[in-house]
Structure 1
């Protein structure tokens, strides 16, 4: 019994250290997702990072459910804007297979007169590792309404 008590702090510390590195990997995946959106466009980024059972929740519309539906939504949607975001926080389940990130996004677009405008808001993404160990989102949603950066 005493052997197990001696090992317990080591096991707890290893779990905490692993949790931190897993959180870093999830934040990295979210940043790479945003970078792909900036470099290749919203469509390509969302198609690349959507899980098979991924869901998009957007204001004023029904949920977009499943990879194929998200892909169609992205292909049919307006892509005349740039969307980037910055994760502020991430957490991961003890198993390391699911997690979430939240942060701030910025959308840059041109209005009907061709004047560049921007919109900011908050987002949350729930992530799950796929069968290859890559992070894919299973749910993504955002809320507009923050003041534009000046």
Structure 2
């Protein structure tokens, strides 16, 4: 009888662990969709309102930007740095999204495209790779903490 109880316990434990793993995978799929939605809203907001408003609206209070090997630390500094940047010609889409098992941090990377007119009026396209780290806020929303 004791052997039977041990086997039954092991089967129950395996069942519980597999349910937990499935639930965690379901959560990660849901959280990845939330991040893709946040990236899409960020890009669409920029197209509508411009770079300044978008980079300020989607930044966490402690967000950090790296621009030209320069760190811009905090939402207030981002606001100041982008105060004269109202371009709406930046577009991007994540190629990869990963979310922590706890669902409070995520990161994305992909390609960006920035179009602008050069000094003689010709349209130019600057392309590159972006990397963004997202953090879930107390209200459940996602804000970037690194870009």
TM interval, shorter chain, is 0.7 to 0.9
| Structure 2 unaligned spans of 5+ | 1-8
Deviation, 1:5, is 2.3
Question: Judging changes above 3 Å, is the alpha-carbon distance between structure 1 residues 111 and 81 closer, same or farther for their aligned structure 2 residues?
Answer: farther
- Aligned-residue CA RMSD in angstroms? 1.3
Taking the aligned partners of 1:62 and 1:42, their CA distance within structure 2 comes to 18
Asked if the contact 2:49–2:86 (Cα under 8 Å) also holds between the matched residues in 1, the reply is: no
Aligned residues: 138
Report the TM-score when normalising by structure 1.
0.86
Match of 1:35 in 2: 44
**SS state of the match for residue 131, structure 1?**
coil
Report the TM-score when normalising by structure 2.
0.88
Asked if the contact 2:49–2:88 (Cα under 8 Å) also holds between the matched residues in 1, the reply is: no
Asked if the contact 1:43–1:79 (Cα under 8 Å) also holds between the matched residues in 2, the reply is: yes
Q: Of Structure 1 and Structure 2, which has the larger fraction of its residues in helix?
A: 2
Greater Cα radius of gyration, structure 1 or 2 = 2
